[in-house]
Structure 1
Amino acid sequence: MGSTGVWTVGAVPDQEAATLPEEFVHLVTDRDFQRPDGYADTLAWWSRDCDGERLFTRDEQDPTVLLPTAAGRRFADFVHDANPETAATEAMRDASLALMVGNGSDGLSSVVARKASPIAALYYGLGASVAGLLPGWFGDFLLTADGVCAALPHAERALRLDGERRAEVLERIAEWMTGMGDDPDFVAGDLLDAPLRVLRYAADAGLGVVAFTRWY
């Protein structure tokens, strides 16, 4: 796994959002659909909120240090394998980035985290049932303008949080970034606010939206 995870969410022209898959379908192979052994079991485990297993524990020598448990590593690996890098996905991601140029801050978001997956942190923070309201598959999605309008109300329910609920989710995101990654100063609110801002911008402008994770 790379050392820096970047989750990009950006608005793209509606017509291009509709035709992007067709441009790169010729790069798809049967191997692109293969999953690691036990993937379905882990998906079911996650859908049950990891059966209540703790994903982090305190270091016995230094209680201020969070360490991932076997369950935490299992979930991290699961999310990393959810959207593998293939010739087709990499070509689509490159093309999508080129289409996002010029959107400005409202139409583009890139959340960066050292040694940790931003989307894993978000899903851990929200929990399985709420994270299921988000479009796509563990942070990767391609929506036309109509798709954005359909997805936005569900994204609002998942991400527009306040009070104790927001504080709880932000605390869990920070826990992931501290225990799994190396970024205690990570701005957890960016994972809630930034993608919602892009989706709202795209809905108002009649644009599509593409999202994906890359490792550097």
Structure 2
Amino acid sequence: MGFTSAWGISSHPDTVIARHAPRLLPAMAADRAAHGSRERWEAWQRAPLPDHRAWYGHPTRRDAIDAFRALTAPGRHVDELCAGITDPYFYVVDHLWDGQDLDGIFVSVHSKEYAVSSLFHSIGPARAALLPGWCGNFLLTAAETRHALADVEAALTFTSPERTAAEEQDWLDYTAGEESVLDGPLRVWRAAVRNGHGVCGVALHIG
């Protein structure tokens, strides 16, 4: 069965962050606390997956690969909230993404793939652990965004060989001119800090 997913990071004044915090923060916390989430995260931290091009040659790792995909797929609570299922008055495209200028948003949309899964596998568990929030979902004030910048830069800044290795493990297909998951998040983060804004990251199914 096919699906389309999106992962977006957007920059907002603290007034917008505060307006959406009562809806988004409980959903994010519920996904983080969901049954099996912590166990999957700790298993991946202990045993990173091999080169994705060899996954089908590692039948003994199938359970680990499936657990990683479940870990990095959109969490149910954020997914249903942002798609307008649990709250018909909140739809992420209208409330967070619509009207954003290019400096303040990064959105990665893919068919039958998850952007967070590809990013996390590409950078590995040590770098992924530096990113705030839970598996691509976060809602931070301007002060929190500024405080987290050093960790986000450490996670998403690469030497030339590191960049090549990360690109080889990013399995997403990009159209001409489309921004990679290795670039967009840090760009928006830096722009948010320059502008004195907070950031919101959400992953969801859109079809």
Output the TM-score relative to the length of structure 2. 0.78
Q: CA deviation at 1:80?
A: 2.1
In 2, the alpha carbon distance for the partners of 1:201 and 1:107 equals: 7
Could you tell me which residue of structure 2 aligns to residue 21 of structure 1?
21
The sequence identity of aligned pairs, in percent, is 27
Q: In structure 2, which of residues 188, 200, 205 is the aligned counterpart of residue 210 of structure 1?
A: 200
Q: CA deviation at 1:152?
A: 1.0
Q: In structure 2, which of residues 129, 132, 142 is the aligned counterpart of residue 132 of structure 1?
A: 129
Partners of 2:21 and 2:139 within 8 A in 1:
no
Aligned residues: 196
The answer for unaligned runs of 5 or more in structure 2 is none
Partners of 1:140 and 1:210 within 8 A in 2:
yes
In 1, the alpha carbon distance for the partners of 2:96 and 2:168 equals: 34
1:199 maps onto 2:189 in alignment? yes
In 2, the alpha carbon distance for the partners of 1:48 and 1:31 equals: 24
Partners of 1:12 and 1:96 within 8 A in 2:
no
User: Does the residue aligned with 2:67 lie in a helix, a strand or coil?
Assistant: helix
Could you tell me which residue of structure 1 aligns to residue 162 of structure 2?
165
Output the TM-score relative to the length of structure 1. 0.75
The answer for unaligned runs of 5 or more in structure 1 is 61-67, 178-182
Q: CA deviation at 1:20?
A: 2.2
Partners of 1:49 and 1:127 within 8 A in 2:
no
1:41-120 to 2 correspondence within 5 Å? 41-50=39-48, 57=54, 69-80=62-73, 83-85=75-77, 91=87, 94=91, 97-120=94-117
Shift in CA distance, 185/103, structure 1 to aligned 2, threshold 3 Å: closer
Once the two structures are superposed, residues 41-94 of structure 1 have per-residue CA deviations (whole angstroms, 9 ceiling, x without a partner) of 3222111134x566553768xxxxxxx94432221022226x223565655962
